[in-house]
């Protein structure tokens, strides 16, 4: 696939009649690519084909209609209509289903049956209308919501060494908090600290972008070379469908990945309100700051994301069903709390699947390493608890 971003960049520069730096140009092009709708191959415009054959969305913006977390929309039949919720599948060790792969794709190109739908039931979310038969024995499933995209560039700047230091400090704690780095191997064979994704499985923002292209849009990248996306060997119609790559080229080039990464890195973190500033001391005293570190040091300063980017075991109430290799189903990367006020305002739900409607409900689900902090939160005098909730609601 041939895309000529330099020509697009020059066009944009002329269009706005203003001097544009190379970095700003990358960000502008990246924003346009983020919003671009991709189409199945073969297309008369090779610059935007290769979608699928199985996919969940047609563009990055379809899963992130705004830069914030959004509520899930379901129809009267219980079928999830939102592109920003996906259903993952794995066995207890994190291996994908032999037929459906890692993720249930709800859309497809002509001639290929969509894998199924995500359906809301009285017990949560489940796969429905499965087109290729039941899941393999022992498979587990769970849904994930698309997170906010604000401030990701800052998280990308935290060093692997700093995350390893946090984990080492946790080993000396006496409150049950441990937390560990999810060490992963990148495409060059280097051992890196994972920091993006619900399971901290992606070491950089660029790798996270490529994983989203591969799983959600079925587009190959330098990191995920197969043009068939999450299509498995058992899905013969999917494998036979036209693909967008030519001569071994990735459908999404390294240049496209770089431009989109530049755009995402440019998005500033959410600004907290001043309403709950007095609750920080309670936040620390209850032990919440042990995992949700208010600030992370970077080479250029610090980021106030309220996370340590480590994996923590949060107990059986937060068993996510599906998982990834080397990560327990009850282990989760500490979710950044910046932007929590926007999530609450959007009524988007808290936790990985939006199951908690309020901060108190979310805290109540925290077990495992967070059980001690949950107990201290519940024991707070009511006035102090209100101050702490107001603080969190202001982030």
Q: Name the pTM for this structure.
A: 0.92
Buried-exposed string 295-331: b where 16+ CB fall within 10 A, e elsewhere? ebebeeeebbbbbbbbbbbbbeebebbbbbeebbbbb
Report whether 105 contacts 86 (CB < 8 A): no
Beta bridge partners of 191: 185
pLDDT top residue among 323 and 300: 323
The average pLDDT across 357-364 equals: 98
Q: What is d(CA 348, CA 154) in angstroms, rounded to the nearest whole number?
A: 24
Q: What is d(CA 392, CA 284) in angstroms, rounded to the nearest whole number?
A: 12
Q: What is the pLDDT of residue 2?
A: 46
Q: What is the pLDDT of residues 235-271, one digit of tens each?
A: 999 999 998 877 678 999 999 999 999 999 999 998 8
Report whether 152 contacts 115 (CB < 8 A): no
The Cα-based distances of 358 to 41, 82, 123, 317 in angstroms read: 44, 21, 19, 16
Q: What is d(CA 202, CA 199) in angstroms, rounded to the nearest whole number?
A: 8
8-state DSSP, 316: G
Q: Is the pLDDT score of 14 beyond 60?
A: no
* Residues 6 or more apart in contact with residue 318 via CB below 8 angstroms: 330, 332, 351, 352, 365, 366, 367, 368
* Residues 6 or more apart in contact with residue 116 via CB below 8 angstroms: 100, 104, 106, 127, 128, 129, 130, 131
Q: What are phi and psi of 367, to 5 degrees?
A: -120, -150
Percent of the chain with pLDDT over 70: 92
Q: What is the pLDDT of residue 46?
A: 65
* Residues 6 or more apart in contact with residue 274 via CB below 8 angstroms: 394
Percent of the chain with pLDDT over 90: 84
Q: Which pLDDT band, with edges at 50, 70 and 90, does 324 fall under?
A: very high
Q: What is the pLDDT of residues 46-76, one digit of tens each?
A: 677 899 999 999 999 999 999 999 999 999 8
Q: What is d(CA 195, CA 179) in angstroms, rounded to the nearest whole number?
A: 13
Q: Is the pLDDT score of 10 beyond 60?
A: no
Q: Which pLDDT band, with edges at 50, 70 and 90, does 19 fall under?
A: low
- The crossing angle, in degrees rounded to 10, of helices 22-35 and 254-266 is 100
Q: Is the pLDDT score of 341 beyond 70?
A: yes
Q: What is the pLDDT of residue 157?
A: 95
Percentages helix, strand, coil for the chain, rounded to the nearest 5?
35, 15, 50
Report whether 308 contacts 293 (CB < 8 A): yes
Alpha-carbon dihedral angle through residues 192, 195, 201, 205, given to the nearest 10 degrees:
-90
- The phi-psi region of residue 363 (left if phi > 0; otherwise alpha if psi is between -120 and 50; otherwise beta) is alpha
Q: Is the pLDDT score of 349 beyond 60?
A: yes
Report whether 71 contacts 349 (CB < 8 A): yes
Q: What is the pLDDT of residue 16?
A: 52
Q: What is the pLDDT of residues 261-301, one digit of tens each?
A: 999 999 999 888 766 667 899 999 999 999 999 999 999 89
Range with the poorest average pLDDT among 18-27, 261-270, 304-313? 18-27
| The token pair that represents 389 in the structure block | 């909730």
């Amino acid at each position: 696939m041939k895309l000529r971003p330099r020509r697009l960049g020059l066009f944009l520069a002329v269009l706005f009649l203003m001097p544009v730096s190379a970095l700003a140009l990358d960000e502008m092009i990246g924003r346009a690519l983020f919003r671009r709708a991709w189409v199945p191959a073969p297309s008369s415009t090779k610059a935007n084909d290769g979608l699928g054959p199985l996919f969940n969305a047609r563009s990055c913006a379809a899963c992130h209609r705004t830069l914030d977390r959004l509520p899930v929309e379901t129809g009267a039949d219980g079928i999830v209509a939102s592109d920003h919720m996906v259903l993952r599948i794995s066995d207890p060790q994190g291996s994908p289903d032999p037929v459906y792969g890692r993720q249930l794709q709800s859309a497809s190109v002509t001639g290929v049956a969509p894998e199924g739908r995500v359906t809301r039931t009285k017990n949560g979310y489940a796969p429905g209308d499965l087109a290729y038969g039941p899941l393999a024995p022992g498979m587990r499933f769970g849904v994930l919501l698309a997170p906010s995209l604000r401030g990701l560039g800052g998280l990308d700047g935290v060093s692997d060494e700093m995350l390893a230091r946090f984990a080492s400090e946790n080993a000396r704690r006496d409150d049950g908090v441990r937390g560990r780095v999810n060490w992963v191997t990148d495409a060059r064979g280097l051992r890196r600290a994972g920091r993006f994704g619900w399971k901290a499985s992606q070491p950089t923002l660029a790798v996270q972008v490529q994983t989203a292209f591969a799983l959600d849009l079925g587009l190959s990248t330098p990191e995920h070379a197969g043009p068939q996306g999450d299509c498995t060997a058992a899905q013969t119609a999917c494998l036979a469908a036209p693909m967008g790559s030519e001569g071994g080229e990735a459908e999404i080039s390294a240049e496209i990945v770089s431009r989109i990464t530049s755009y995402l890195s440019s998005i500033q973190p959410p600004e907290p309100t001043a309403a709950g500033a007095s609750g920080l001391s309670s936040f620390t005293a209850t032990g919440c700051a042990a995992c949700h570190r208010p600030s992370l040091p970077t080479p250029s300063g610090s980021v106030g994301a309220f996370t340590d980017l480590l994996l923590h075991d949060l107990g059986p109430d937060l068993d996510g069903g599906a998982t990834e290799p080397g990560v327990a189903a009850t282990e989760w990367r500490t979710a950044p709390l910046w932007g929590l006020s926007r999530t609450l305002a959007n009524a988007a739900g808290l936790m990985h699947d939006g199951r908690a409607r309020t901060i108190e409900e979310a805290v109540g689900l925290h077990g495992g390493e967070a059980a001690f902090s949950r107990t201290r939160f519940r024991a707070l005098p009511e006035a102090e608890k209100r101050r702490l909730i107001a603080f969190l609601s202001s982030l």
